[in-house]
Amino acid sequence: MLISFELENWMSFRDRVTFSMVASRERQHRSRVPKLGRYDISVLPVAAIYGGNASGKTNFFKALNFAKQFIVKGSLPDASIPVEPYRLSDEYAQKPSRFKFEILANDSIYEYSFGVTRTQVTEERLVQISPSRETVLFDRSTGVPHAEAMVMEDRLEYVYQGTRDNVLFLTNTVTQKVDTFLPVYLWFRDALELIAPDSRFGGFEQFLDEGHPLYAVMNEALPQLDMGFSQIGGEEFPFESLNIPDHVKTKLSEDVKEGISVRLMTGPTNERFVVTRRNGELIAKKLVTYHTKEDGTKARFDMRQESDGSQRVIDLLPAFLEMLNKKSEKVFIIDEVDRSLHTLMVRTFIETYLNYCTDSTRTQLLFTTHDVLLMDQDILRRDEMWVAERDARGSSTLLSISDHKDIRYDKDIRKIYLQGRLGGIPKVLLGDLLLPHSEPEELEADG
């Protein structure tokens, strides 16, 4: 679970901003808020971030995505770090960007933080938190491992000394097959899932594999979503018929082993395929939909023939079904959850997820949105709603609605937000510029 996230000097976020999923003393919807009994805290299962255009919502999403990619994949030797500092101040453009996570991994809470410039990791620290004490596992900012907190094994000491300036020590330990901090790394790799507005068919191979546990569930859900099609499946055809360059075919022929599947996107229509080797032969499957014809038979459609909204449902459906798995510990971050979707569709997805949540839930959903119809205390608690706003300097801030002490549980938050009393709405000052203008009169010269 994500307990908190802190960022500083990243894109439009100039000063330190803290986003917390720790529940306040809010009484609403208390039964669905997960409890970490060992730590005596409750962690929210959902959070919505509102704000005007260019307020910082997507930049917040990009910060999480950058951190995940940098932790999981690292960087090549001598490569620059793709960090994006605040650019409206020459002073901050030269400073490190900083990120701090507090997470629950394997029933333990860890605080992991790092700072980076384009050329190096300037600081990195990992702390394990128990109910009674905090143990610093390593602290890279001092230039050496934290001597009091951890007796470095010979292998770990060797890895530490060999960690490049542009790579995280956490990442390098896993690369060098040292498992000391593996639970933290795996949380970023496996638990944290980010879905961008232009993501397409994340996990779509689940729709192609009839043996997948979610295959039947997804196809049972589709007719209830009023998308026009009744089933999604895979159309199988010979690998050689794929319209891809020969060098790509050669590489796939070499790399795809028996039982291994590879996702593939090809062509100007962005069609999605899965390539698998079966009994020595490469087989390709394409994601297609089936509509019910007037006579009751099925008509096959290519995915590109479906509406953008229908494709967005396919983007999100595997994620929402995963959230309903009581054993799941995934944390989904969805930017613009309402893109191309009707507000009732989004509301149904969120309400269904929250109806499954209990005090033992370990999944979470964070999303950005412009859909004010979701700004409803019948759905979300005040501490589950946040507002991003950009100040006069161009710097973004992030504030929970629960921080506004005058917003009671019986107030219409949507109305208060649209009145501008919570910030985070666009300040459009076009005025008379949108009114029709007459052509200037031509003046005749005398004489």
- The mean of the pLDDT values for the chain is 87
CA 178 and chain centroid, separation:
28
Average pLDDT of 93-106?
A: 96
State the pLDDT at residue 21.
98
- Token pair recorded at residue 399: 């504030």
Q: Identify any residues that bridge with 43 across adjacent strands, giving them in sequence order.
A: 22
Greatest C-alpha distance within the chain: 100
Better-scored residue on pLDDT, 426 or 300? 300
One-letter amino acid of 82: P
Question: For the chain, how many residues are written?
Answer: 447
pLDDT interval class at 150 (50, 70, 90): very low
- What's the whole-model pTM score? 0.86
Backbone angles phi, psi at 224, to 5 degrees: -85, -5
- pLDDT, tens only, 411-444: 889 998 888 888 888 776 655 655 665 555 555 5
Average pLDDT of 289-308?
A: 87
State the pLDDT at residue 335.
96
Span 2-196+335-418: which CATH code? 3.40.50.300
- Token pair recorded at residue 127: 């702390």
State the pLDDT at residue 274.
79
DSSP for 310-331 reads: HHHHHHHHHHHHHHT-TT---E
pLDDT of 309 higher than 50: yes
pLDDT interval class at 147 (50, 70, 90): very low
CA distance 162 to 157: 9
One-letter amino acid of 138: F
Sequence ranges of the domains in the chain:
2-196+335-418, 204-314
CA distance 387 to 20: 13
Which segment of 101-115, 283-297, 359-373 scores lowest on mean pLDDT? 283-297
- Token pair recorded at residue 297: 């038979």
Average pLDDT of 333-347?
A: 93
Q: What angle do CA 81, 197, 18 make, to 5 degrees?
A: 60
State the pLDDT at residue 237.
80
Better-scored residue on pLDDT, 440 or 78? 78
Environment class of 220 (CB within 10 Å of its CB; exposed 0-12, middle 13-18, buried 19+): exposed
Which of 154-158, 270-274, 334-338 is the most confident on average? 334-338
Helix intervals (H) in 144-283 = 154-161, 169-175, 182-186, 215-221, 246-255
Better-scored residue on pLDDT, 95 or 201? 95
Q: What is the DSSP letter of 446?
A: P
pLDDT interval class at 148 (50, 70, 90): very low
Q: Identify any residues that bridge with 143 across adjacent strands, giving them in sequence order.
A: none
Q: What is the DSSP letter of 96?
A: P
State the pLDDT at residue 151.
47
Backbone angles phi, psi at 381, to 5 degrees: -75, 160
